[in-house]
Amino acid sequence: MQIVLPDGSKKELESGATVADVAASIGAGLAKAALGGVVNGKLVDLNREVADGDEVSIVTNKSDEALELLRHSTAHVMAAALVDLYGDVKFGVGPAIENGFYYDVMLDHTLSIEDFEAIEKRMGEIIAAAEPFERKVVTRAEALEQFANQPFKVELISEMPEDEEITTYTIGSFTDLCRGPHLPDTSKIPAFKLQKIAGAYWRGDAEREQLQRLYGTAFFKQKELDEHLHNLEEAAKRDHRKLGRELGVFMMDDLAGVGLPLYLPRGGRIIRIMQEWLRKELYRRGYEEVITPHIYKADVWKTSGHYDFYKENMYFFNINEGTDEQPRYSEYGVKPMNCPGHVMLYRNDVHSYRDLPVRFFEFGTVYRHEMSGVVHGLMRARGFTQDDAHIFCRKDQVVDEVVAILDMADMVMGEFGFEYEAEISTRPAKSIGSDEMWEYAESALKEACEQRGLAYEINEGDGAFYGPKIDIKVKDAIGRTWQCSTVQVDFNLPERFDITYRTADNTEERPYMLHRALFGSIERFLGILIEHYAGSLPLWLSPTQAVILPIADRHKDAAYELAGKLRAAGGRVEVYEQNEPMRVKVAKAQAQKVPYMIVLGDKEVEEGTISVRERTEGDLGTWPVEKMADLLRDAVV
């Protein structure tokens, strides 16, 4: 038989050959490095047979698919270790995930991090034994009998389609229900670490059994594992929830509800600075600010399509618009998006082709019903504010408008020192709009990126049902990627709200509608900034830019006089007048990540100077007051 290699060449093999045989036929080095294969686009075990005409590539530890193999296999080793240590363990599911793996388990023993050492030791012994992962195809009856004491596995087996192949994998004395694939044997697991324990409801249903979820990770090199663990430690130090609380930026209160941040004065100031900075730029670029309600009658959401397709993520309620004697109830919905309001504002006027583009922007607060399990500080909240904009333009203006949006995104990311990349998501299987509209929109997004010199990846079929999009993904100080800015083409809302413009030929045409966000969610962007800068925000964005530290009570008057001068220059300045030792005042300012500390004593008051400390550089020496005033004046947005 013949199989096809990734370069298009063909290889002759005996019938019944496996992926391992393919690797060996190419070379001894590849055969030694092989961990699995990809056959006709599907990841498979190394000992899986191939057929005539199959397209085959070999997976080594350098392949994109390798970590999935490694981590899924390590999850099985962990499960085997749990059985050896604790006996009767009921298993849920144990998949590989983005940065590791987990297994959901039920057992009498309550696991804790103190158990990790024993579990890891037993896992190491299983790995050292080089136990092969043995795959077996079983009948439904055999599977139900084999896993009769595993209720969660029995439930999964019972729900499998009649024609689905059922397989098990065995290492040593441990057998698990699993589709696979896996590494050839356990010795191929070179570096692993258990990380944490959490609770998890079976199948995510709060009405079902609560299991223990044991997380871990694995890498092909100890160095890579060590770097990953270091980055996790660094991420924990930078956690915006921790820093946000310590810096007095925001708080959460169960009384208010899950996922609804409350901004403290420092946080409120940061948010307003961000908005004002962007607002000035938007006005300069021809945008017009609008303000829309937080709630609309359900009719709006029915017209937009949200009522049919997004209702489970929204908050609806009834209002009596009649009297107590003759009630007349109307249904209202809290907005999850700002788009319908902007479309209605466009529809309020008659537009000529000469009027376009029309660019509306709004810092609009929206509310979405996120499950409590996925709410995460500012990164994923139920109430948040979008720096939303919608551009209504002619077809011939789309490219220029997208280029201008990408230019603004570059300005925003450059201001914060973010490296970024672009991803264009194309037409999904279920979509609206003609082929011509999709082809034009996708080509327009690509052309705009090319005009900007912005490299992009294509994410096939991941566009919204209403149009393609560009997502801007930034990389933070510790290498994590976050999706922030976006620009989307929308064929849906112009059609649903029946908006048009008058052409030069005096006919009615539908405008192209572009959705645009630069920060995205301002809450989420602020969370990213806090973690990116480890709380030490840039001078222009810091809620307090300088603190004045009078050495003694006799210097307080001079401190407040100085604060007045610096505030007149636009600076955000505080005076630490408490009767505390200077080292305590300095430590307090350092803990608050204040950029500058100004020390005032007898010498400074007499000479009309200031002693300056910077939060990272330390003592900067003696400055004239005007130097600090100029510095703060230049930082005004």
Active site residues: 339, 368, 386, 388, 390, 469, 515
- Asked if 457 and 423 touch (Cβ cutoff 8 Å), the reply is yes
Of 488, 260, 251, nearest in space to 369 by CA: 260
One-letter amino acid for residue 448 of the chain:
A
Helix spans in 249-338 (H): 265-284, 298-304, 306-309
Of 365, 406, 355, 407, nearest in space to 385 by CA: 365
d(CA 51, CA 36): 16
Residue 236 neighbours by CB distance under 10 Å: 9
48: its two tokens:
């899986």
> Residue with structure tokens 């019972």?
158
Strand, coil or helix: 398 = helix
d(CA 248, CA 266): 6
Give the single-character DSSP code of 55.
B
- Asked if 487 and 449 touch (Cβ cutoff 8 Å), the reply is no
d(CA 390, CA 561): 47
CA distances from 399 to 475, 602, 608 (A): 26, 63, 57
Give the single-character DSSP code of 368.
-
> Which residues are paired to 352 by β-bridges?
502
d(CA 406, CA 379): 23
Of 597, 571, 567, nearest in space to 584 by CA: 597
- At residue 440, φ and ψ (nearest 5 deg) are -65, -45
> Which residues are paired to 138 by β-bridges?
166
- Asked if 107 and 149 touch (Cβ cutoff 8 Å), the reply is no
d(CA 379, CA 384): 10
One-letter amino acid for residue 241 of the chain:
R
- At residue 338, φ and ψ (nearest 5 deg) are -95, -10
Burial of 403 (0-12, 13-18, 19+ CB in 10 A): middle
d(CA 184, CA 181): 9
- Maximal CA-CA distance, the chain: 96
